[in-house]
Amino acid sequence: MSDTRRLTIREAYAEASSFLRQRGVREPEANAQRLLEHLLGEDRSGLLLRWPEPFPQEREADWQRLLERKASGEPVQYMIGEQEFYGLPFAVTPAVLIPRPETELLVEAVVTLGRRLWETGARKSESPVVCDVGTGSGAIAVSLAVQRPEWRVLASDISPDALKVAEANAARNGMQERIAFMEGDLLVPYIERGIKLDAVVSNPPYIPEEDEAGLQPEVRLYEPRTALYGGVDGLVLYRRLTSQLAELPALPSLVGFEVGQGQAGEVRRLLEQAADWDEVRVIPDLAGIERHVIAYRKPSLA
Ligand code: GLN
């Protein structure tokens, strides 16, 4: 990087973008902009207003350090400690997966179906109990709690460090009283406590271990392994989750999973094998990839 001392903020941004591009960083402009907002303590519009100002000389060394870290593959979200999800702010650390925009569609589908199943008809007065298995940053659990004030939300993760991040995110979004957090493997915490669940929602680790070498460095070198890999074929956690359903005190009326590319058919089969559903629905993401598999049945009145 050349000396930015005589540059305006806009020029420093343009120069940083081309530096990141040369170093093979994807979306170099967006990354340069987010880092610059972070460095200068501005939001998007605040930064635009400051475009013509000279780049502050005293921030020069920090700016170069940030750009070097980004050029080495570090995800910008871990550098600034934040990612937005479902319009809400979430803290992220390397203990948790960075929430992805496609997962917002899972939240949306669960909200839509859940309202239809539990908020109309005979069961209207009861509070459905919904769990987010492998909550990570808490993105799914917190968004569900914010969207549906009547629902009781539970969230679990095998990683105590992830749970700390999720609990902080619940508090940050005012949901600390609404979500109960539990440490444990998949459905085990609910089975052990005999909790009757209306819905099981999960975005479990699903990358096949054999795909590791092909992942972009941002993911492969920085995101937590426990949150990424789902065994040799990526499907190990779906097999365990679907077989554990029978150990719950009652079968949930909704199960919603995020899945990896090419996995929807097999996950549908696992769900159909585990129980009788009214429907198993596969939902594509914005790139057209079959991304979510949702099984549901009308709740029994018993
Ligand atoms: N449930 C979290 C999310 O959707 C974490 C997922 C994971 O770590 N596999 O972002």
Look at residue 96 in the predicted model and tell me its pLDDT.
Answer: 98
In this prediction, residue 302 carries a pLDDT of: 47
Structure confidence at residue 121 (pLDDT)? 73
Dist CA 157 CA 141 (whole Å): 11
Candidate from 92, 98, 103 with most ligand 1 atoms within 8 A of CB, to mutate: 103
Which of 203, 263, 285 for mutating ligand 1's site (highest number of atoms within 8 Å of CB)?
203
Question: Is 103's C-beta closer than 6 angstroms to any atom of ligand 1?
Answer: yes
Residue 163's identity, in one-letter code, is L
Ligand 1 atom nearest 205 alpha carbon: 9
Please provide the DSSP assignment of 165-204 as one string. HHHHHHHHTT-TTTEEEEESSTTHHHHHHT---SEEEE--
pLDDT at 300: 67
Return the number of other C-beta atoms located less than 10 Å from residue 45's C-beta: 8
Q: What architecture does CATH give domain 85-296?
A: 3-Layer(aba) Sandwich (3.40)
Which of ligand 1's atoms lies nearest the C-alpha of 106?
4
Residue pair 115/148 in contact by the 8 Å Cβ criterion: yes
The pLDDT value given to residue 298: 87
Whole-angstrom Cα distance, residue 22 to residue 14? 13
Please check if 127 is assigned to a binding site.
no
Query: For a pocket test of ligand 1, which of 83, 90, 97, 219 has the largest count of ligand atoms closer than 8 A to its C-beta?
Result: 97
Q: Where are the domains of the chain?
A: 4-72, 85-296
Residues of the chain with pLDDT below 70 are 1-5, 122-125, 300-302
205 lines ligand 1 (CB under 6 A): yes
The one-letter amino acid code at 204 reads: P
For residue 301, the model assigns a pLDDT of 56
99 CB under 6 A from ligand 1?
yes
Q: Which residues contact 53 (CB under 8 A, 6 or more apart)?
A: 8, 9
